[in-house]
């Protein structure tokens, strides 16, 4: 594990893309949420008046009516940002504005863009933040010659998983604030203040919590309130509550904020922002591993559910906690709301961190009443279930009884979305009903011994699409880990699926052309960004350097890293357009063909064994200090002990 860090000077950053240290955004401070809408006014769910048409589950045959209506506006709202983005791509001999305008009346021909941010703890949040900042036209420097600013504004979907889900969640929990706004927060805020372990609580928060004991007292009271309301609690409740203090700029981490309130928030409701999606896996209590054919669930602002054919249904997210049976709330049952608390949803997608947090809890001088509560909970549920999130009552109870594996279970248990090895949230974006044309897959996984990715998450999704549970989804052929490393596919952005014929079988008439995958792996450009998944705190300089490194990954060092990066913005524009051009029988411009020749995987493999460990060289160069190099020995030793303990439990981790 390479645990070196760097504190980069502004001069060293100038070698790559513009520094984010002094970036100015549209507003000086992060924007606070307007819709804390839990009916209890706090963390616990509470009864609400049932609507005249009582909530029911729906079939996953199509996207929801709400998403379909929203898409009509969103796809239109991407037109001008996409024109601006493609004009900046400056594709020789191609009039991007005329092309998009010629097809704006037929939105199926206009590129449909998705962005997927992998899991990997704080490493994934920070590296993904660098990519999102680079893709956001509101961030200074993002639209420079080799920047990719405007890609975010052109996107229809923004999906996150585990640590990537923290990033997506934090963006939307704070009214779609920019990365610089979230990073800098405001005076007295604990937002993105990672220098103090999440187990100790914020140094200063502006909310009267000045020590670890009072912090945990508030967390404990919130979880107890949920129990008092008649609901089962899990360690994910504690984990999700603590996450919120760092990720939501509100008093006590916004206990009354719900994920479904995004659907009623200005900006998203007007379809001026992409659709956020978080991912979790289904797992039966007591199981030690999540199989690749386990059910993949998604949270979006309207619903929780899955396109997988065994369950094949979605429940209204706002009414989670209600006693659904056979797809409806019986007339003699109350309607409940507030179960989809924002931190709990983010915690569900990252529930693997329950183990990391709880196994470190004794080393952080956590109050005895909390450790006793956790131990008592573990005794009730069994220590093998410390990574689950409990959704009880099960909203899919008696729904699709012939195929639903949870049909007779009163509790639905969900776990970290990366536990089935699909550590990138690609599943929602390859659904034929969504007809996504290109997915920017930002991979911050720790697949190698030095915490760099080697394509494992891509291969997992590829392998799953060959199974019956795939339900007609298709994915490009992906090579083995040895090929990724030997051919450098994990050391530069690589396009997969340039030839739409080279895909797994299975398609639907609604989308016979599967998406192009632009794979953007975490790499060390200007700092060692391969920090341990298990490191729970970062000084501001470390945080900023890793975010900056992610910005450099997204822009290929602002086009300074050799021939492959010289026309990077042009090539990104070509990737966005490729499927659209195929649909409209448009001749591929010569510049785009050159991009595809350069960046597309050529289908060749190199399966020689990797010897001596995998340790890539920095792309640009790293300025190191002795303090930075030696400052993580304790974390390294803790991480080794933790990995041994988790391995002994029989669980498989890929994060």
Answer with the residue of higher pLDDT: 652 or 446: 446
Q: What is the average pLDDT value for the chain, to the nearest integer?
A: 86
**Res 205: pLDDT:** 45
For the cut 50, the answer to whether the pLDDT of residue 26 exceeds it is no
CA 655 to chain centre: 12
Give pLDDT tens digits for 558-596. 877 766 667 999 999 999 999 999 999 999 999 999 999
Q: What is the spatial distance between Cα 48 and Cα 338, in angstroms, rounded to a whole number?
A: 9
The answer for 614, left when phi > 0, alpha when psi is -120 to 50, beta otherwise, is: beta
Sequence spans of domains, the chain: 10-33+72-648
CA 313 to chain centre: 22
Domain 10-33+72-648: assigned CATH number: 3.40.1090.10
For the cut 60, the answer to whether the pLDDT of residue 204 exceeds it is no
- Place 461 in a pLDDT band, splitting at 50, 70 and 90: very high
Answer with the residue of higher pLDDT: 152 or 512: 152
Name the CA dihedral angle for 123, 390, 460, 4, rounded to a multiple of 10 degrees: 20
**Res 263: pLDDT:** 97
pTM of the model: 0.91
**Res 388: pLDDT:** 85
CA 447-450-451 angle, to 5 degrees, is 45
- Place 368 in a pLDDT band, splitting at 50, 70 and 90: confident
**Res 630: pLDDT:** 30
Taken in order 645, 649, 652, 653, the sign of the CA dihedral is negative
């Amino acid at each position: 594990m390479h645990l070196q860090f760097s504190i980069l000077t502004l001069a060293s950053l100038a070698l790559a893309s513009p520094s984010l240290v002094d970036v100015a955004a549209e507003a000086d401070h992060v924007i606070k949420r307007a819709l804390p809408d839990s009916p209890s006014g706090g963390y616990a769910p509470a009864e609400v008046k049932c609507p005249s048409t009582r909530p029911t589950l729906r079939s996953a045959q199509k996207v929801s009516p709400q998403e379909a209506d929203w898409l009509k506006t969103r796809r239109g709202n991407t037109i001008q940002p996409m024109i601006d983005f493609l004009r900046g791509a400056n594709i020789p001999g191609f009039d991007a504005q005329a092309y998009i305008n010629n097809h704006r009346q037929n939105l199926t021909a206009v590129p449909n863009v998705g962005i997927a941010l992998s899991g990997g703890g704080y490493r994934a949040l920070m590296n993904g933040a660098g990519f999102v900042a680079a893709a956001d036209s509101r961030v200074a420097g993002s639209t420079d010659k080799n920047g990719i600013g405007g890609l975010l504004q052109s996107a229809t979907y923004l999906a996150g998983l585990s640590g990537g889900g923290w990033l997506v969640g934090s963006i939307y929990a704070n009214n779609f604030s920019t990365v610089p706004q979230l990073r800098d927060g405001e005076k007295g805020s604990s937002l993105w203040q990672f220098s103090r372990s999440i187990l100790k609580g914020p140094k200063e928060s502006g909310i009267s919590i000045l020590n670890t004991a009072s912090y945990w007292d508030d967390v404990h009271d919130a979880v107890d309130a949920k129990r008092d309301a008649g609901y089962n609690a899990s360690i994910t409740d504690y984990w999700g509550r603590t996450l919120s203090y760092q990720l939501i700029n509100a008093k006590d981490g916004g206990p009354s904020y719900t994920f479904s309130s995004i659907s009623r928030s200005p900006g998203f409701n007007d379809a001026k922002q992409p659709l956020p999606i978080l991912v979790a896996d289904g797992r039966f209590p007591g199981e030690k591993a999540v199989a690749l054919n386990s059910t993949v669930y998604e949270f979006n602002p309207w619903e929780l559910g899955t396109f997988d054919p065994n369950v094949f249904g979605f429940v209204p997210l706002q009414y989670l906690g209600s006693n659904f049976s056979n797809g409806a709330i019986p007339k003699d049952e109350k309607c409940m709301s507030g179960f989809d608390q924002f931190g709990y949803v983010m915690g569900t997608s990252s529930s693997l961190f329950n183990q990391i947090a709880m196994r470190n809890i004794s080393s952080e001088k956590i109050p005895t009443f909390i450790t006793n509560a956790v131990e008592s909970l573990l005794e009730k549920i069994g220590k093998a279930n410390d990574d689950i999130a409990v959704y009880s009552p099960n909203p899919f109870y008696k729904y699709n009884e012939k195929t639903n594996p949870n049909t007779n279970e009163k509790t639905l248990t969900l776990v970290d979305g990366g536990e089935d090895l699909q550590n990138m949230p690609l599943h929602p974006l390859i659904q034929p009903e969504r007809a996504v044309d290109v997915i920017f897959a930002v991979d911050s996984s720790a697949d190698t011994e030095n915490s760099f990715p080697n394509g494992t998450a891509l291969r997992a999704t590829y392998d799953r699409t060959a199974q019956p549970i795939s339900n007609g989804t298709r994915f490009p052929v992906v090579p083995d880990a040895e090929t990724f490393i030997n051919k450098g596919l994990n050391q530069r952005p690589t396009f997969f699926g340039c030839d739409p014929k080279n895909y797994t079988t299975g398609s639907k008439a609604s989308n016979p052309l599967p998406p192009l995958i632009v794979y953007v792996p975490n790499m060390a450009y200007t700092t060692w960004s391969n920090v341990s998944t298990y490191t729970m705190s970062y000084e501001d300089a470390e945080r900023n350097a890793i975010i900056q490194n992610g910005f450099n990954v997204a822009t290929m060092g602002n086009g300074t890293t050799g021939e492959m990066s010289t026309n990077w913005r042009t090539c990104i524009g070509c990737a966005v357009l490729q499927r659209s051009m195929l649909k409209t029988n448009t001749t591929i411009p010569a510049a785009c063909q050159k991009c595809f020749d350069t960046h597309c995987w050529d289908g060749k493999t190199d399966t020689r064994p990797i010897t001596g460990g995998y340790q890539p060289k920095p792309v640009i160069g790293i300025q190191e200090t002795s303090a930075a190099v030696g400052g993580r020995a304790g974390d390294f030793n803790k991480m080794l002990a933790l990995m041994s303990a988790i391995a002994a439990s029989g669980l498989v981790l890929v994060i």
